[in-house]
Structure 1
Amino acid sequence: MSTNPFDDTDGVFHVLVNDEGQHSLWPSFSPAPAGWTAALSDVDRRTAIDFVNEHWTDMRPRTLREASDTPA
């Protein structure tokens, strides 16, 4: 049985962010998909998760947040 690299507790990760401000943990051995950039690179899983929890506090996509914050 193989291990999912996204769940590897001993893995090395990047934290990726897209244009909508959404975050993703990404195994460092795999190239980032189009539209995503690294906000944090080559860290252990716990550090990556802590970064996401600290910086991604509103799960709504950026465009939805902006539309919700605009007065009618």
Structure 2
Amino acid sequence: MSEPMLYQVVVNDEEQHALWSARTDPPEGWRPEGFTGTEAECMAHVDEVWPDIRPLSLRCRLAEEAHR
């Protein structure tokens, strides 16, 4: 039986998360977040750590507008 493919959770400067093969470096603009596992494990982790999927710049802009 073959081993399951391992993924890593990667994140960009907008705090957006994605899965990437653990065997290769993430693409430019993305960095490892520190979690590695099966696809299902990584998806569960992303669901935990990234509840608000809006990009960071949008969240900041909306927060500024709310405080005006």
In structure 2, distance between residues paired with 1:43 and 1:27: 10
Matched, 1:32 2:45: no
Give the residue type in structure 1 aligned to 2:26: A
Aligned residues: 63
Gaps of 5+ in 1: 1-9
How many percent of aligned residue pairs carry the same amino acid? Answer: 32
Q: 1:52 to 1:61 in 2, by over 3 A?
A: same
Kindly report the root-mean-square deviation, in angstroms, between the aligned alpha carbons of the 2 structures: 1.2
Q: Return the TM-score normalized by structure 1.
A: 0.78
Gaps of 5+ in 2: none
